Amino acid sequence: MMPRISHVQGPVLWNVQDGVLTVELNRVREMNILDVPTRKRILQILRRHEKDEAVKCAVITAHGDVFSTGADLNFLLRLRGSRAKSYAKFVREFLDYVENYPKPTIGVVSGLAVGGGLELLMALDMVIATPEARFGQTELKVGLIPGGGGTQRLPRLVGMRKAKEMAFTAGLISAQEAYEWGLVNRVVPEESVLFETKKLCEKLSPMSQSNLRLVKDLMNKGSSMGLADALRMESEFYSKILDSPKTKAAIKAFLKRKKG
């Protein structure tokens, strides 16, 4: 669990420090559910810092022993007809925005992440977990199906067979299993998670922010394309980068530092 954020109080806390925007879910009693107001607040915070060049990295974490159990089931019970369709569209657009956020995003998990909570993590670029973290695509257990990418992003991350096992059984996997399956990038002790997160963000900070955004965009778009088309797209943008005076200046600076 990351240290408490005191910049703003409420169901979603946030602050910016040393180039890192940290967003913290803060509804411990409700198991950090991702109801509509919570998702809208996350969007509001992210959009506020979208073009802030001082922010190099965005971290999403949670207070308490639960990262998030996903949707508000009591709210879902009240959805009918067009309202159900509208809600499903909102969830998809929320996660699409998070996935394509123009800055690197990192999830930090020290507790339970299931259902929509896991789907939020899957929309992030990287995930750091503590050994106590647990993950599950648990919708079938409560009579639902995954509605925020669980049937699509999960197979792309862990492979079809492991994704089907997670979704079909609605069971939990450990942080170590999540690491071995490719669902998280690293597992670190609770007392080291803040240091490791900061260190990762520091590694990203010196990179060209425009090039980093381009690499992220190419990876995201290419994942839903055939390999040949994706490679052509990459080559097209690569040629444009090669032709850029800014690129030439960066290469010259690198070579000068290397000689020094």
247 plus 130 within the same structural domain: no
Residues 39 and 161 in one domain: yes
196 and 118 share one domain = yes
CATH for 250? 1.10.12
- The model carries a pTM of 0.93
Range of the domain at 93: 12-204
How far apart CA 52 and CA 49 sit, in angstroms, is 5
The two three-digit tokens of residue 172, written as one number: 């939990």
| 7 within some domain | no
Cα separation, 151 vs 259, whole angstroms:
50
CATH number of the domain within which 123 lies: 3.90.226.10
The single residue of 119, 132, 177, 191 carrying the catalytic annotation is 119
Both 200 and 248 in a single domain? Answer: no
- For residues 154 and 122, the answer to whether their CB atoms sit within 8 Å is yes
In a domain? residue 2 = no
And the tokens for 87? 């809600």
79 within a domain of the structure (yes/no): yes
Cβ neighbors of 74 (< 8 A, separation 6 or more) are none
User: Does the active-site annotation cover 139?
Assistant: yes
Does a structural domain hold residue 3? no
d(CA 108, CA 184): 10
pLDDT in tens, the chain (260 residues): 444 454 456 899 999 999 999 999 999 999 999 999 999 999 999 999 999 999 999 999 999 999 999 999 999 999 999 999 999 999 999 999 999 999 999 999 999 999 999 999 999 999 999 999 999 999 999 999 999 999 999 999 999 999 999 999 999 999 999 999 999 999 999 999 989 999 999 999 889 999 999 999 999 999 999 999 999 999 999 999 999 999 999 898 888 887 76
Q: What's the pLDDT score for residue 5?
A: 53
Taking each helix axis from N to C terminus, what angle separates 209-222 and 227-242, rounded to the nearest 10 degrees?
160
Q: 50, 139, 190, 196: which is the annotated catalytic residue?
A: 139
Residue 256, pLDDT score = 85
How many domains does the chain fold into?
Answer: 2
Q: pLDDT digit string (tens) for 27-70?
A: 999 999 999 999 999 999 999 999 999 999 999 999 999 999 99
* Whole-number pLDDT of residue 180: 97
pLDDT at residue 203 in the model: 93
DSSP-assigned states of every residue in the chain: -PPPP-SS-SSEEEEEETTEEEEEE--TTTTT---HHHHHHHHHHHHHTTT-TT--EEEEEESSSEEE--S-HHHHHT--HHHHHHHHHHHHHHHHHHHT-SS-EEEEESSEEETHHHHHHHTSSEEEE-TT-EEE--GGGGT----SSTTTHHHHHH-HHHHHHHHHH---EEHHHHHHHTSSSEE--GGGHHHHHHHHHHHHTTS-HHHHHHHHHHHHHHTTS-HHHHHHHHHHHHHHHHT-HHHHHHHHHHHHHHH-
> 60 and 110: one domain?
yes
